[in-house]
A and B are shown apart, each in its own frame.
Chain A
Amino acid sequence: MSYPNPQPSQIPTKEYDWAFAHYPALTKKFPNEWIAFLAGRVLAHGKDPVRVLERAKKVTKVDREIPTLFIEKGIHIYAF
């Protein structure tokens, strides 16, 4: 079976820069939740990363990928 090739990123780094610049405020509003955001605005948030993206797509009409991020509250150290 042949697959399409994966494509480069369609999301400008500045979109992520906005989220990281506002990370403290996002942590207070959406602790340990997934957010979908675009152009300096949170479009959707919640515990389920798939539903969050689906809701964000309904909110916005733009035909492009929407960045998502898990907002960690506190210091998380992942060690398995």
Chain B
Amino acid sequence: MTQTLISRGTAAVFRTETRLFGRELGSLFWIVAFPVVLVCVLGFVPTFRDVDPDLGGLRVIDIYVPIGILLSMIMASIMAMPPVVFGYREAGVLRRLQTTPVRPLTLLGAQVVLHGAAVAASTVLLLVVGRLLFQTPLPQAPGWYALAYLLALLATFGLGAIVTAVAPNARVGTAIGMVVFFPSMFTAGVWFPVQGMGGLLQQIVELTPLGAASQALYQAMAGGVPDLAHLLVMVGWVIITFGVASRTFRWQ
């Protein structure tokens, strides 16, 4: 089983988890469909389609595309995935796999990949639907956009990993998830774009993972190079969250 790059057992775990993920219609709705629906609703507000001088010649609807992308990441990593891991841990699925040639880490890996894939699908939908319905701009600096996107994805999954690792059980975990979820939505700019916050509030929000991600994605979309500070803030969060999570995660 070790000759091939991906063993038969690992492939089977991915195949099975993909099927099971397809049955989680709630998760799929919130990750893939909801951000697109939100952007469409906002796009039909006439004033959001007017150029806003405060936003450097962009329209409100334009900056809601990256915000929608971040929303999808938050849904996947903080709302959808931790309960799956809690469930697997409490039901003994992880422990059960520990006694087979496949490691439980494979199961967690499959979950991360699947939730990441759902985010990617949502991103493509947001870019295409925004472009077709509201002429939102495609990323003007694709390389920087991809980098900011990747860091944002890692940072949000880092938050999800922390939630999963520190929670003693599913009930507390869901509560902790909520506590992380709403500030993440706020700092990502879902209610009020970070770019329009200004002043001290904006400076604070830019130090949060989603605040920094929002700024970096926005700047790359507008064609500029994201501020190094935003990228470094995300890198810092990735290191901290995964560092803590990998030390505190329990398999059973």
A and B are partners in one complex rather than unrelated chains: no
Name B residues whose Cβ lies closer than 8 Å to a Cβ of A: none
Name A residues whose Cβ lies closer than 8 Å to a Cβ of B: none
